[in-house]
Amino acid sequence: MIEYPAPYWKDYALVDSGDGQKLEKFGDYTLIRPEPKALWKKSLPDSEWTKLAHTRFRPGAGFGRAGKEDSGTWERLKKSSDQWYISYPLPGSGGKAFSLRLGLTSFKHVGVFPEQAPNWDYIYSNTLQLSETLGRKPRILNLFAYTGAASLAALSAGAEVTHLDSVKQVVTWARGNMESSSLDGIRWIVEDAMKFVKRQQRRGSLFDGIIMDPPAYGHGPDGEKWKLDECLFEMLQGVNSILSPKDSFLVLNLYSNGFSPLMGKTVLEQAFSLKAGVDISAGELALNDSFGKALPLSVVVRLRR
């Protein structure tokens, strides 16, 4: 399974990729950012990239070092803003959409990972289905939730959403995205994800949908250490105990270069002690540039009970 953003999303386009970079259009602005997975040659000449781009990310001295991989600065190539908005249209919704604020951060990120669009569609459609099946608002938990696109997809489908991230600034960013989308009602939590899951286990809490997008490395608000290879299996075991055993779904996204779809599927199966008959799928999320070059960016595993 390889999935790409739907063509009806007009606020994003991967214009070109290659030579360790990508040329992307987000709404009104076009950016040049490093992309280690773009191992091929660019289709457009450098002069065309420079002509099209508004800003270019310049890696800093720490680029490539553990914990400093993405640090650097932005070089302005033409007049543009440090912050702007794009819209994401929800599938089959008759024009319903949510809003995302983008910004130029010192870590090359802009506040959205566009290859995640198929996950947002999956979350939206499955939350709608759960609403009908359960006859109430589904309880959705978004762990490692970043700026909240997945949370907004669930909220737009009528869910009761809990949004958790260990970084207060990105939770504030996510709240702004909710407000700019004319939505409300998300429960915001700034906490270490493992601590939260263990507390929910003790309380016997259950969620109808859980979304996980854990980083390879990270820290909780009180200095808690997270290393994907060491913590993922334990985390998934905890998540299994708080995911409703019937009429529920899980979305697990993995960016670590060491993970394949098969590895992600196997670790989930083992952590959940899954048996035959469970609806589980695994694959990759990718972007297609305008020249047809496919850029794989993450592994996704989905479970539906």
CATH topology of domain 2-103: Immunoglobulin-like (2.60.40)
Instruction: State percent of the chain over pLDDT 70.
Output: 95
> How much is the pTM?
0.93
The Cα–Cα gap between 74 and 254 comes to: 27
Which conformational region is residue 208 in: left (phi greater than 0), alpha (psi within -120 to 50 degrees), or beta? Answer: alpha
**Picking from 151-165, 189-203, 216-230, which range would have the lowest pLDDT averaged per residue?**
216-230
pLDDT confidence tier of residue 251, bands split at 50, 70 and 90: very high
The CATH architecture to which 114-304 belongs is: 3-Layer(aba) Sandwich (3.40)
Compute CA distances 298 → 3, 197, 230, 255, 285, whole Å: 10, 24, 19, 5, 5
Q: Is the pLDDT of residue 257 over 70?
A: no
Beta bridge partners of 243: 207
Q: pLDDT averaged over the chain?
A: 93
- Asked if pLDDT for residue 133 goes beyond 70, the answer is yes
Kindly list the domain boundaries of the chain, sorted by start residue.
Answer: 2-103, 114-304
At residue 200, the pLDDT reads 97
Q: Quick one: pLDDT band at residue 235, thresholds 50, 70, 90?
A: very high
Q: Within its chain, how far is the Cα of 70 from the centroid?
A: 17
